[in-house]
């Protein structure tokens, strides 16, 4: 944190904690010296000790009063750190005067140790400032011994002096460790609360590309979801650069699309501590994988209604030279938007490639000499490398999604990723109608199997062409808003918002 963020921490409770601590300190001084006076402690300089204790009580009460005044956060912080140093001197001097006995110069560990070690919890500050103040406070034990000598208390031998003050420096080192921990936690908490113009509310999920938070615009009160990737998660320099490029490519690729079926990106950037983030619309809905897993396969007419919207998103992306490369049910959300039901949003363009990028960088942003993808939805050419991966890989994956929607099963099953990938490369898929009891409309099987052709050239030429064929399928009772509203209102659907790659078992890294 900077000094300003330290001040912000004081605003949120540091001043109150300092006030409480000063009252406790005053009470402890009064109680301890009251007991010592009643017990007639044998210290030769008890009277002087009482005066010092009284001064410490007065100082503590003054600090308490100051915390109740409307001081600026910076002044409160400086007051607290100054109180730590002066308080350390007062405690050490009072102990020396009140516990000195000519025949026993060695006493237990000073209360200054506890004071120094715990003070970072009262007044959070940067580790550097804590180091300076804590070690200055530790030196107060040495100054107190010499001040007591001026008042008539014999100065112990140097060995005894070192014995008495060394624990103070150990406490100072412990205070620095506490400060570093508090500094890190405070920085993370500050980031978790505020990011640019957005206030982060709660985490929604995390995955391979980062984590997602529910957020709200501070001025507009506009809800949003923020996807971010911390600097710590980036790893080494080479990996950091690769992930940064992938993250930025996802944000830029998504932001340039305007289809209502593509998730909207509001903002993108990097914070001062290196955290990458982008702000996207908050979705009220569930992904298609969860939809089928929890509610069963959808009707053919509903599947067509949803697939046509996915085609709209892909058609625009492909026309812009973008290939999604990770189309799967988990990356397609079906939502409620205002009075509209079953609105589709395609998201997570994390593996996006530019068709005109001939350098190969687009296929190398995930790991060195590896291609990341989801085996159950990977086109054969992605696995074998026999053909250039272009928009037709998305069409193949779209066929896999259609298969999942109406059957609740994958095109090719297998207990390992390799077996699933082998199916995509070598085996002929069964028609969807073979895996469901539902009656599929004429033309649906043929379209899905065309999307699943091994040869990219044999597949439909475009997502728009797939949409046209879907629209041409004769449906007795097409899916519409009335039916969609009845479905949503008749079920307690838990809202699932954009969270990156929650389902790891079906994701894998494949050797390029």
pLDDT value of residue 484: 94
441-471 confidence digits (pLDDT tens):
999 999 999 999 999 999 999 999 999 999 9
Q: Is residue 77 within 8 Å of 15, Cβ to Cβ?
A: no
Mean pLDDT of 140-145: 85
Rounded Cα distance, 266 and 195, in Å: 13
Residue 7 pLDDT > 70 = no
Domain ranges of the chain: 3-186, 195-280, 285-511
Rounded Cα distance, 148 and 146, in Å: 5
Give the CATH class of 285-511: mainly alpha
Q: Mean pLDDT: which of 123-127, 348-352, 358-362, 477-481 is highest? A: 477-481
In the structure, what pLDDT confidence band is assigned to residue 72 with cuts at 50, 70 and 90? confident
Annotate 137-148 with three-state secondary structure: HHHHHHHHHHHH
Mean pLDDT of 374-387: 90
In the structure, what pLDDT confidence band is assigned to residue 13 with cuts at 50, 70 and 90? low
Mean pLDDT of 28-32: 79
If one counts every other C-beta atom within 10 angstroms of the C-beta of residue 433, the result is 16
In the structure, what pLDDT confidence band is assigned to residue 244 with cuts at 50, 70 and 90? confident
Give the CATH class of 195-280: alpha beta
Mean pLDDT of 320-349: 91
In the structure, what pLDDT confidence band is assigned to residue 227 with cuts at 50, 70 and 90? confident
Mean pLDDT of 302-317: 96
In the structure, what pLDDT confidence band is assigned to residue 231 with cuts at 50, 70 and 90? low
Which H or E run includes 21? helix 15-38
Mean pLDDT of 149-163: 79
Mean pLDDT of 277-299: 92
Residue 101 pLDDT > 90 = no
Structure letter (DSSP) for residue 260: T
pLDDT value of residue 213: 83
If one counts every other C-beta atom within 10 angstroms of the C-beta of residue 140, the result is 26
381-439 confidence digits (pLDDT tens):
999 888 788 999 999 999 999 999 999 999 999 989 999 999 999 999 999 999 999 99
pLDDT value of residue 190: 54
Percentage of the chain beyond pLDDT 70 is 78
Mean pLDDT of 99-124: 70
Alpha carbon 165 to its chain's center: 43
pLDDT value of residue 188: 59
pLDDT value of residue 348: 80
- Look at residue 217 and give its three-state secondary structure: strand
Q: Which residue has the tokens 């320099």?
A: 237
Lowest average pLDDT, out of 90-99, 295-304, 378-387, 411-420, goes to 90-99
pLDDT value of residue 127: 76
326 counts as catalytic = yes
- Look at residue 116 and give its three-state secondary structure: helix
Which among 438, 347, 452 is positioned nearest to 396, based on CA atoms? 452
Lowest average pLDDT, out of 184-188, 203-207, 367-371, 428-432, goes to 367-371
pLDDT value of residue 343: 96
pLDDT value of residue 234: 59
Instruction: Check for a shared fold between 195-280 and 285-511.
Output: no
Q: Mean pLDDT: which of 66-75, 130-139, 344-353 is highest? A: 130-139
pLDDT value of residue 8: 44
Catalytic residue among 6, 287, 326, 342: 326
Mean pLDDT of 332-342: 92
Rounded Cα distance, 301 and 433, in Å: 14
Q: Mean pLDDT: which of 5-19, 25-39, 105-119, 418-432 is highest? A: 418-432
pLDDT value of residue 148: 82
The length of the chain, given as a count of residues: 512
- Is the pLDDT higher at 343 or at 174? 343
- Is the pLDDT higher at 131 or at 308? 308
Phi, psi of 226 (to 5 degrees): -115, 125
Cβ neighbours for 342, distance < 8 A, ≥ 6 positions apart: 302, 305, 306, 334, 335, 479, 481, 484, 487, 488
Exposed/middle/buried for 71, CB within 10 Å: 0-12, 13-18, 19+?
Answer: middle
- Is the pLDDT higher at 297 or at 151? 297
Rounded Cα distance, 55 and 38, in Å: 19
Rounded Cα distance, 510 and 512, in Å: 6
pLDDT value of residue 4: 43
Residue 206 pLDDT > 60 = yes
Mean pLDDT of 29-46: 67
The rounded mean pLDDT for the chain is 79
Lowest average pLDDT, out of 144-153, 241-250, 282-291, 311-320, goes to 241-250
Rounded Cα distance, 65 and 310, in Å: 64
- Is the pLDDT higher at 230 or at 55? 55
């Amino acid at each position: 944190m900077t000094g300003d963020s330290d001040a912000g921490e004081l605003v949120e409770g540091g001043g109150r904690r300092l006030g409480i601590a000063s009252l406790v300190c005053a009470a402890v001084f009064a109680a301890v010296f009251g007991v010592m006076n009643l017990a007639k402690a044998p210290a030769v300089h008890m009277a002087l000790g009482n005066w010092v204790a009284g001064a410490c009580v007065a100082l503590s009460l003054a600090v308490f009063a100051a915390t109740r005044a409307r001081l600026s956060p910076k002044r409160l912080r400086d007051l607290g750190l100054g109180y730590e140093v002066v308080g350390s001197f007062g405690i050490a001097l009072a102990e020396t005067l009140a516990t000195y006995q000519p025949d026993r110069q060695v006493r237990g560990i000073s209360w200054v140790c506890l004071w120094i070690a715990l003070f970072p919890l009262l007044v959070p500050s940067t580790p550097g400032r804590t180091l300076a103040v804590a070690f200055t406070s530790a030196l107060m034990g040495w100054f107190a011994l010499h001040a007591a000598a001026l008042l008539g208390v014999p100065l112990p031998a140097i060995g005894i002096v070192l014995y008495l003050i060394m624990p103070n420096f150990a406490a100072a080192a412990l205070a620095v460790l506490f400060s570093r921990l508090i500094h890190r936690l405070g920085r993370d908490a500050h980031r978790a609360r505020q990011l640019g113009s957005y206030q982060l509310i709660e985490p929604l999920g995390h995955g391979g590309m980062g984590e997602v938070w529910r957020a709200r615009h501070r001025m507009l009160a506009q809800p949003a979801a923020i996807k971010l990737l911390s600097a710590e998660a980036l790893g080494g320099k080479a990996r950091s650069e690769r992930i940064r490029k992938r993250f930025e490519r996802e944000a830029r690729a998504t932001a340039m699309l305007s289809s209502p079926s593509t998730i909207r990106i509001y903002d993108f950037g990097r914070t001062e501590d290196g955290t990458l983030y982008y702000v996207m619309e908050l979705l009220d809905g569930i992904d298609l994988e969860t939809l089928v897993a929890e509610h069963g396969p959808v009707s053919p007419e509903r599947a067509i209604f949803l697939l046509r919207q996915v085609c709209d998103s892909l058609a625009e992306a492909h026309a812009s030279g973008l290939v999604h490369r990770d189309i799967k049910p988990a990356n397609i959300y079906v939502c409620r938007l205002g009075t509209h039901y079953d609105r589709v949003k395609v998201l997570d363009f994390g593996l996006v490639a530019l068709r005109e990028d001939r350098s190969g960088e687009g296929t190398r942003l995930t790991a060195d000499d590896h291609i990341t993808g989801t085996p159950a939805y990977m086109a054969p050419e992605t696995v074998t490398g026999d053909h250039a991966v272009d928009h037709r890989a998305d069409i193949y994956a779209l066929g896999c999604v259609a298969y999942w929607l109406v059957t609740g099963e994958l095109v090719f099953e297998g207990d390992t990723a390799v077996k699933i990938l082998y199916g995509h490369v070598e085996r002929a898929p069964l028609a969807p109608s073979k895996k469901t009891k539902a009656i599929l409309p004429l033309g649906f099987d043929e379209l899905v199997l065309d999307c699943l052709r091994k040869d990219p050239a044999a597949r439909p030429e475009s997502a728009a062409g797939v949409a046209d064929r879907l629209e041409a399928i004769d449906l007795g009772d097409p899916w519409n808003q009335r039916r969609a509203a009845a479905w949503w209102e008749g079920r307690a659907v838990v809202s699932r918002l954009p969270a990156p790659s929650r389902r790891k078992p079906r994701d894998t890294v494949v050797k390029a």
